[in-house]
Structure 1
Amino acid sequence: MRQTLASALLEAGEQFNPPRVIPSAEWIETEFYLPAESGVINGLYDFYYTPYFLGVAAAIDDPETYEIDLMKASQIGWTYFMIALILKLVRCSPMPIMALFAKEGDGKSFHDEKLVPTVLVNRPVAKLMDVSTAKKAGNRWNHKSFPGGFLKLVASNSPGNVKSTSSVGFAAVEEPDDTSDNVKGQGSAIGNLEERLKRYPGSKLLVGGTPTIADLSKTERRLKQTDMRVLPIACHDCGEKHVLDFEHINWLYADKDQPAHEIYGRALPETAYYACPHCGSIWDDYQRKENVRNTVFKAVADGDPLKGWVRTKPFAGRAGFMELNELYACLPGTTLADIAREQLAAEKLAETGDMTGLIKFVNQKRGRPFQYQSDLPDAEKLAERCEEYAELTVPAGGLILTLTVDVQHDRIALILRAWGRGEESWLVLWTEIAAETSTADKKDPVWAELDRYLFGVYRQSKGYTLRVSAASLDSSDGQTNDAVYHYVRTRKKRFNKLLAIKGSSNVDAEILTAPRKIDLNTKATKASKYGLQVYMVGVTKAKDLLHERLKQTGSGPGRMHTYKDVRSDYFEQLLGEIKAPSKRHGGKKVYQKKASAKVEALDCEAYAIHLSRYLRLHLKQPADWDAIEAGLMQTDLLAEAEATPITEQQPETVPAATKPTAPQGKPASLADLGRLMNGDD
């Protein structure tokens, strides 16, 4: 009875005494237990199997560090280490905690399969945080209360889950590459989570993920903003250190008189070994793991605050851990032979054109983003091709002008492009105009400025004057399309080839398809309320064609030309997307924006190709182009002698465009010329 009373008093006293500050690594290896469900390794946690996480634990404890990012392989024991950090907070430093998952199902699986079994074997934590599924206040599967805080599990595809919590002291993100970027127009889930952390003094963010595609990966993007630490491992023979790399895995080959394996060929993956790049010493699996352990444990014994990790960039509060591939794994079951088999199988599949296995291998085994090899010239090479002609001046070959506009919340981006024989084209202008486009205010200065470009007169180097033949405005954004529809409707009488467009989500959509007719018997769309038909642009095929044209050099059909003084961001924006497999599109390759890239120039150029199809420029014959040029000369002599070029006009004096309609063949009059230039042939 006395013993029971003493235990009760001791336990009650612990509730009133402030918890002792204990390093995370020390608490984990003395207080944290792995459940039987974790696999072969269970019971008291031992960094013998995950020595590389000692550096992460040290970063968690560092008061100067507010964010920790890991770009890692998939089988290194990450999830249970993350749970250990969470339970340590519940036990020693209670606060509001949030864990973010890509989808609700991911969070539910984490709760049922890992969190609950782990809490149950860690009894001191289980006494504080009830993980049963009984329906009572503060204890749902996605919300666990404990004295001084709570643990909330949220899904990235429901922004309200994050926003309903005012502040968070510690947050963990599982697989950031799979999280939603912009749900219901409320921004990215991770961005919303970061806002909650800002409201809690001393908060920390832990992000761990396996990367996907280079330049698209959110994991990679976050890592580049850190000090990008690596873990060099010492060789047991020469003592020299290097970052473990799959390039140093080797294997033997069967003799030529032996039959080749269906997948591996003459390679013998079971003979795989690791070779030190400094001395050539051969490491087997035991030596590989021992070298990792010995390197880290020696760093700890020597008092290294980073526990063997080395910064490759300056530290500014964000600790990043990279190159944490499967060669570092010290868990049972990871072998060089298995790695070799998977690599050979992935490479064999890639020879058939199926890159899925190789992508998975690079992401999940090497812990690196997969780099698609593009045959497109880079931005620097494209810039070297720029030509000596002035902005807003049409070179000699340009005979038809198009204007395309991408509408953003705070600006509009526009491209004027001149077209000639064989769809050879010249950039006449790439620019952006600051604006507030979320309202349809017809007095907004940006629309008057756009009028100046739409209805302007442009000089061609042979002395002709040109007007825009067709123009389009992107109306994809639900917050700006009112303004777009208002602009298009109110200019239609003056310019009947002014289109409201949207990019099609169908990756197989043709560049040009006829718009749906307005049906008054069905539920009206926002566009139909304005009396408009919206053209859907097959942006995937348009960008495919654009990329093919960017590869071409010199002059001739399909070539694209650019003036020397084009704005410096033009080429970077043209290359701002990568065509890669998308889970959202069933694994089909779609264009995806690179991390932090702007792509308005790319979108405008894709829309320009759509307008060239709309004007049927690809169907025009040499005689048609000759007739257009002859007509321009006639127009210049008869009608445009006193026209003011766009560079000298004021918005108030922009002349109205001639209404075009259209015959075939050589133009007999100015009206016939207008019809031919506008593609009604």
Structure 2
Amino acid sequence: MDRSEIQKAIQRGLTPMGAPDPLTLSEWAAEHFYLSAESSYVEQKWEAYPPQVAVMNAISNDDIREVDWIKSARVGYTKIILAAMLYMAEHKRRNQAIWQPTDDDSDDFVKTELEPALRDVTAMRKVFPQYLARHKSNTLKQKKFVDSILFTKGGKAAKNFRRISIDTGFLDEADAFDRDVEKEGDPFTLAKKRTEGATFPKMVVGSTPKLKGFSLIEDRAALADVLLRFHIRCPHCGEWITLQWGGKDKPFGFKWVNGDPETVAHLCCECSALFTQADYLTVWGSGRWISDSGIWTADGIRFYNAADEEVPVPVHVAFHIWTAYSPQATWADIVREFLAAAEKAKAGDMSKMKTFVNTTRGEVWEEDVEKTDSDALAERAESFPLRVVPMGGLVLVAGVDVQADRFEVVVWALGRGEESWTVDYVQLHANPADETEWDKLDAYLQTAFPHAAGSMLTIEAAAVDTGGHYTHQAYNFCRQRARRKIFAVKGDSQQGKPIKGRSSSQDVNWRGKVIKRGVKLWLVGTDTAKDLLHGRLQIVGAGPGAVHFSKELPETFYKQLTSEYRVLAKTQSGDQYRWVKPSGKRNEVLDCTVYSMFCAQQLDLHRFTDKMWERLEAAVQPPNHDLFAAAPAPAPLPEKPPERPVDAPAPRPDPAPRRSRISRFA
């Protein structure tokens, strides 16, 4: 080895020990970043627009730990996070991960954005020598740099948020993520946990907003210390203003003459003077990001209050910007897009207008949604007590939702035509990670409930949700009780599937033991069940499909049962209705009710003939029963009732011994 090679080897070895020159992301990108031909309109060296500089520097500012960006199309978000990943790898040598909504999205991002950038940004070659090689350090799932690593993952599976430690996390198109990733939590919390322990933890989240009330990026921005919007000085009056769409009845924003987009100009909200896009581009270089409270920054490094006094850098910053600020789109084109959407809207097609609001204006879309009024259901509640099966109820089914600190159980009584009555709603405090704690649920599911006709009924079938953290514990519980019709269930991710879907045998890992041909896992067509339930909740009075509620149910029961909205969503298969849960709402009662509907189908109640119902009625509530007799009192309390919350319903009847289990349904 000659002397030059030795010197190069020594230099490479000493490089990690050297301190890099301090550079912000905008400075680094101006020097090194390049727009590749595969993913850009024009292949060229990067040059940031004035509104982009502060966002880029906020990402590289170690005092800021969370950066959110509510954005429209054509504002450069994808390029900025791409530049940020290369900057973190080459300049700061930090471990990173980027999550896309799905695995396919992640693979596409790597192929069309990341790999061309690694090829064309020459500064990366000293930290990523394998950029053109097939190598274990260069895959679709990870890029291993000198002194750091970048993970590229999809956000659908909870496993993709485990077993990695990073300094910086990116979430792209946040509104396309599931709100609750396989019942283990929201994607932001799962991703943020990967940065715990980092010296300079950083989360960068960006998205085009979607539906109001369901937008994850809108929820994130609401939690930020400041929400900043880009302001310019009006070319006429000099006041700080934002570019606003305005509207036909608004005295500010975009205005044009006689339907001609080429005449468009912006009307200042302060002086009512008009200025063109060309006028805007003469002043945008001196713009500022300003919040409603007056906090502002020009560079994303230093922050000031309304009195222009420097203030501490906020820890969590959110930005909002829309297409009008970008020179890549002319204002005339924006107006043309709106006029085309408005024409479609006149014919009842709101799809283009929704796209315009989301992707051009960068705002959430407010849409009429189908939902059931929880207050209206509560007003329909009847005087029958809980824990006593009313007349008409012939078969008991239960749904169980497993939470981190409890089991939630809803018991329904079903009668002729699948008319239903609430029999019980209970929260059993327990630690599902502990095998012995499942005994509380086992004891409850063996409860014998008195019937208004004088007999006793037990739960004929129960479905236990296996999603979340305690999948294998749930599998084991159901496997041991399969003969009692305790079913392991999971919601089917595909739309339009039957309530009682397909089943598959699952291996059960229990204390290191693998049981072949283990529990049978059933998929539940949750959207189909919710459609059916939504229709049934509209039935007032008695009869087939009617749903009856006890006045003893708490208010939270109705709120959870009606927590989800039915909205029209665009998919690859066309427009489809989807049930979605707004942020912060709980839906355990709804899930338990859906699982109870699955149990009804497992028992084939939807196929019962009149004669079959008559035989069941004769067994459970004989015709000679005195209909005017008082309902029987609940069974005596158990000596040691399970622990339950302060606001939980009253204690439950004593569980019946297994050998005396009463079933007239069989």
* Cα distance, 1:378 vs structure 2: 4.8
Partner of 1:589: 577
- Give the Cα separation in 2 of the matches to 1:158 and 1:538: 19
Partner of 1:573: 560
* Cα distance, 1:547 vs structure 2: 2.0
Alignment partner of 1:631 out of 616, 622, 628:
622
- Give the Cα separation in 2 of the matches to 1:364 and 1:242: 22
Mapped pair 1:80 → 2:65: no
Alignment CA distance shift 1:161-1:569 (3 Å): closer
Aligned to 2:625, what secondary structure does the other structure show? helix
Alignment CA distance shift 1:66-1:58 (3 Å): same
- Give the Cα separation in 1 of the matches to 2:630 and 2:546: 31
Aligned to 1:451, what secondary structure does the other structure show? coil
Alignment CA distance shift 1:275-1:534 (3 Å): same
Matches within 5 A, 1:234-633: 234=232, 235-241=234-240, 243-248=242-247, 268-290=260-282, 292-296=284-288, 305-306=302-303, 317-322=315-320, 324-329=321-326, 331-332=327-328, 334-349=329-344, 356-379=351-374, 381-382=375-376, 385=379, 387=381, 389=383, 392=386, 399-400=393-394, 402-408=396-402, 410=404, 411-417=406-412, 425-436=420-431, 444-452=439-447, 455-458=448-451, 460=452, 467=457, 470-474=460-464, 477=467, 479=472, 480-489=474-483, 491=484, 507-511=495-499, 538-551=525-538, 560-564=547-551, 566-580=553-567, 581=569, 583=571, 588-595=576-583, 597-609=585-597, 614-616=604-606, 631=622
* Per-residue CA distance 1:512-542 (angstroms, 9 max, x = gap): 79x99xxxxxx97789999999887543333
Alignment CA distance shift 1:204-1:27 (3 Å): same
Identity %: 23
**CA contact 1:464–1:633 (8 Å) conserved in 2:** no
* Cα distance, 1:207 vs structure 2: 2.0
Structure 1 counterpart of 2:22, one-letter code = V
Stretch of structure 1 that moved more, 106-115 or 87-96: 106-115
* Per-residue CA distance 1:16-39 (angstroms, 9 max, x = gap): 752232343444445655456665
Stretch of structure 1 that moved more, 194-203 or 86-95: 86-95
Q: Which has the larger radius of gyration?
A: 1
* Cα distance, 1:174 vs structure 2: 2.5
Mapped pair 1:172 → 2:170: yes
RMSD between aligned residues: 5.2
- Give the Cα separation in 2 of the matches to 1:502 and 1:87: 40
Alignment CA distance shift 1:599-1:658 (3 Å): same
* Cα distance, 1:231 vs structure 2: 0.7
- Give the Cα separation in 1 of the matches to 2:339 and 2:180: 38
* Cα distance, 1:205 vs structure 2: 1.9
* Per-residue CA distance 1:324-375 (angstroms, 9 max, x = gap): 221232x33x123322333344455566666554443333223234444224
Structure 2 counterpart of 1:343, one-letter code = F
Matches within 5 A, 1:66-145: 66-103=65-102, 106-107=105-106, 109-115=108-114, 118=117, 122-130=121-129, 132-135=131-134, 138=137, 143-145=142-144
Alignment CA distance shift 1:385-1:422 (3 Å): farther
Partner of 1:651: 655
* Cα distance, 1:82 vs structure 2: 2.1
- Give the Cα separation in 2 of the matches to 1:92 and 1:236: 39
Aligned to 2:445, what secondary structure does the other structure show? helix
Structure 2 counterpart of 1:75, one-letter code = R
Structure 1 counterpart of 2:450, one-letter code = V
* Cα distance, 1:595 vs structure 2: 4.2
* Cα distance, 1:396 vs structure 2: 7.4
* Per-residue CA distance 1:227-270 (angstroms, 9 max, x = gap): 3513153543455555544344656686xxxxxxxxxxxx5545
Structure 1 counterpart of 2:58, one-letter code = A
Alignment CA distance shift 1:428-1:659 (3 Å): closer
- Give the Cα separation in 2 of the matches to 1:587 and 1:499: 33
Structure 1 counterpart of 2:318, one-letter code = G
Alignment CA distance shift 1:468-1:637 (3 Å): farther
Partner of 1:667: none
- Give the Cα separation in 1 of the matches to 2:90 and 2:488: 59
Structure 2 counterpart of 1:631, one-letter code = P
* Cα distance, 1:501 vs structure 2: 6.2
Aligned to 1:198, what secondary structure does the other structure show? coil
* Per-residue CA distance 1:563-582 (angstroms, 9 max, x = gap): 45533432332233343437
Structure 1 counterpart of 2:97, one-letter code = M
Q: How many equivalent pairs are there?
A: 615
Aligned to 1:414, what secondary structure does the other structure show? strand
- Give the Cα separation in 2 of the matches to 1:155 and 1:642: 54
* Cα distance, 1:148 vs structure 2: 3.7
| Gaps in structure 2 of 5+ consecutive residues | 248-252, 291-295, 509-514, 638-650
**CA contact 2:119–2:132 (8 Å) conserved in 1:** no
* Cα distance, 1:544 vs structure 2: 1.4
Alignment CA distance shift 1:125-1:158 (3 Å): same
Structure 1 counterpart of 2:94, one-letter code = M
Partner of 1:673: none
Aligned to 1:80, what secondary structure does the other structure show? helix
| Gaps in structure 1 of 5+ consecutive residues | 255-266, 493-497, 517-522, 662-677
**CA contact 1:420–1:625 (8 Å) conserved in 2:** no
TM-score by length of 1: 0.71
* Per-residue CA distance 1:296-347 (angstroms, 9 max, x = gap): 299667999348999xxx997322223x221232x33x12332233334445
